[in-house]
Amino acid sequence: MQRVHLVSAAPNGDKSPVAQGDSALAVVLRVRRPGETAFVVVAPGKRSDRIGIVTLEMWRAAALGVAEGASAEKARWRAQLEGAKIVALTGDSVALEREGRALIVVPPAVGSVVVKRDSARDESALHAATAATTEDREAWLVRGAELLERLASGSIEARRAQLRRALDRTVQRLTRRAEAIRGDRAKVAEAGDLAAVATAFVAAAKGAARGARALSVTDWSTGEAREVTLPLDPSKPARAQIDAMFKRAKRLKLGGVIVEARLRETESALAAIDALRPLADAAESVDALDALRDDAVAAAKRDFALATPKPTAGSGRASRAGEKPPYRTFTSTSGARILVGRGAAHNDTLTLHVAKPHDLWLHVKGRAGAHVVVPLAKKHACPGDVLVEAAHLAAHFSDAREDVLADVQYTPRRFLRKPRGSAPGAVIVDREKVIALRKNEELLATLLACEEPL
């Protein structure tokens, strides 16, 4: 007796390589009987030859790489079909029987394959149908070969489109990164000017009165006397502000080496990925496309990724049970948990409802980005290494992702307020400290690899 095992369930709307267009592969049933394994292919489309039999050798030779589809969708199909017995193949359906109940697998002209069950008319048709005989087998194999050819062609086109979209996205991402790094390089170029300005005001800062709002000196660099004014923060000593300018100039100068290295790396990856786009358009086989995919991964491992099918949304209790929390969880190198908000509304949930008053809150100063929370025990300070690692995650999940240098503000959660009517994610910080972060890409990669699964 032939027993069915589900090989693939690619529902309508799945973006997998062999589940698009007129030749969309919806369901493949692996049929086992003593001495033989074969496949029954059920493919929706506008043609009449939408069902066929494929031998194991034919299937392996086609090398389609059948997509699994969304896991929830496949589980639903498995629950309906796994272990059923094929009773008959008709011109436009597969008749099965499972636990005494009739199942008819039907490929509509468009959309995904459907299963009808428990209909008196269908059950009557099931028992009236004649199973495919040995003489019929050759005709079913011919149909199967035609389906495989059609699906292989559709698979190549779909894979090409998928690869090209991934390459285009990667080029856009690398282009944005290169532009951001060039902006950092322009900041580095200002280091000398900043140090020169600070030097000019050292003497004036020594004699400045407490609470001074500006310093003024006479500049003779052009050969003529010219008064130059430097605004000050009256809440801080003038000398401390001049020292901060020297420190910033030093950081910028040291960051210049990193900036140049990152720019060379980014421009090299950009050129390599851009060169693959015409090759993807010209590729004529799945193997050639897979080789180009591997080349893209080698050229831009951090940035290149093929889109994967999104799970089909469920409903009711199961859907709520599988709902994602409003934050992502990472583990620091010392084992501490670091929570990162998933978006603006989720930032509010994390900061206002999940974080406790004594937890540490971080955010990139003056830029849009995720709220980051480090859970802490009462009366315990955040260790310095955890603070730096949390700041790396705050910078990565923000508009400052491509910047080498970033200012990250941090404060205990109790010093935050949410103004009534303010935008999602917007908060007011009553007290803060700022860490001037110079990114360590190796450390960041380690942190990203330590994300806890849902």
pLDDT confidence of residue 452: 79
Q: What is the residue extent of each domain of the chain?
A: 3-132, 160-299, 325-449
3-state SS assignment for residue 84? coil
Pick the most confident of 33-42, 63-72, 147-156, 370-379.
370-379
List own/partner pairs for 127-131 with CB under 8 A and 24 or more apart: 127/87, 127/102, 129/87, 129/88, 129/90, 129/95, 130/88, 131/86, 131/87, 131/88, 131/89
Residues 6+ away with beta carbon under 8 Å from 215: 201, 204, 205, 208, 229, 230, 232, 238
Which amino acid is present at 343? Answer: G
Higher pLDDT, 410 or 31: 410
pLDDT confidence of residue 420: 84
pLDDT confidence of residue 323: 61
Rounded mean pLDDT of the chain?
76
Pick the most confident of 27-41, 333-347, 389-403.
389-403
Which amino acid is present at 114? Answer: V
Higher pLDDT, 405 or 207: 405
Give mean pLDDT, residues 48-53. 70
Residue found under tokens 């103004």:
419
**Distance, first Cα to last Cα, the chain:** 42
**CA 265 – CA 262 distance, rounded (Å):** 5
Give mean pLDDT, residues 269-277. 94
Poorest-pLDDT segment among 31-35, 101-105, 107-111, 233-237: 107-111
pLDDT confidence of residue 359: 95
3-state SS assignment for residue 28? strand
pLDDT confidence of residue 186: 75
pLDDT confidence of residue 330: 92
Residue 72 has pLDDT above 80, yes or no: no
Give mean pLDDT, residues 192-220. 84
Which of 126, 151, 158, 123 has the alpha carbon at shortest distance from 52?
A: 151
User: Per residue in 13-35, pLDDT tens?
Assistant: 333 333 333 344 556 777 776 67
User: Per residue in 169-194, pLDDT tens?
Assistant: 999 989 998 888 888 777 777 776 77
Residue 204 has pLDDT above 90, yes or no: no
Residue found under tokens 């010209």:
282
Which of 301, 226, 236, 266 has the alpha carbon at shortest distance from 404?
A: 266
**CA 275 – CA 159 distance, rounded (Å):** 18
Which amino acid is present at 251? Answer: R
Give mean pLDDT, residues 351-366. 94
pLDDT confidence of residue 273: 95
Give mean pLDDT, residues 59-72. 54
**CA 196 – CA 392 distance, rounded (Å):** 31
Share of the chain above pLDDT 90, in %: 25
The band of 66, judged by pLDDT with boundaries at 50, 70 and 90, is very low
Residue found under tokens 């589809």:
69
Conformational region of residue 200, where left means phi above 0, alpha means psi within -120 to 50, and beta covers everything else: alpha
Residue 233 has pLDDT above 80, yes or no: yes
**CA 291 – CA 284 distance, rounded (Å):** 12
Pick the most confident of 99-103, 175-179, 192-196, 407-411.
407-411
pLDDT confidence of residue 17: 32
pLDDT confidence of residue 3: 57
Please list the residues that pair with 429 across neighbouring strands: 416
**CA 40 – CA 140 distance, rounded (Å):** 9
Pick the most confident of 112-116, 252-256, 386-390.
386-390
Give mean pLDDT, residues 141-165. 75
Poorest-pLDDT segment among 184-193, 222-231, 278-287: 184-193
pLDDT confidence of residue 142: 80
pLDDT confidence of residue 129: 44
pLDDT confidence of residue 267: 92
**CA 230 – CA 232 distance, rounded (Å):** 6
Higher pLDDT, 49 or 126: 49
pLDDT confidence of residue 49: 63
Share of the chain above pLDDT 70, in %: 72
Higher pLDDT, 442 or 85: 442
The band of 132, judged by pLDDT with boundaries at 50, 70 and 90, is very low
pLDDT confidence of residue 69: 43
pLDDT confidence of residue 413: 95
pLDDT confidence of residue 181: 83
User: Per residue in 284-341, pLDDT tens?
Assistant: 777 788 889 999 999 988 788 876 544 444 434 433 444 678 899 998 888 889 999 9
pLDDT confidence of residue 393: 96
pLDDT confidence of residue 62: 66
The model's pTM is 0.43
Asked if 93 contacts 44 with a C-beta cutoff of 8 angstroms, the reply is no
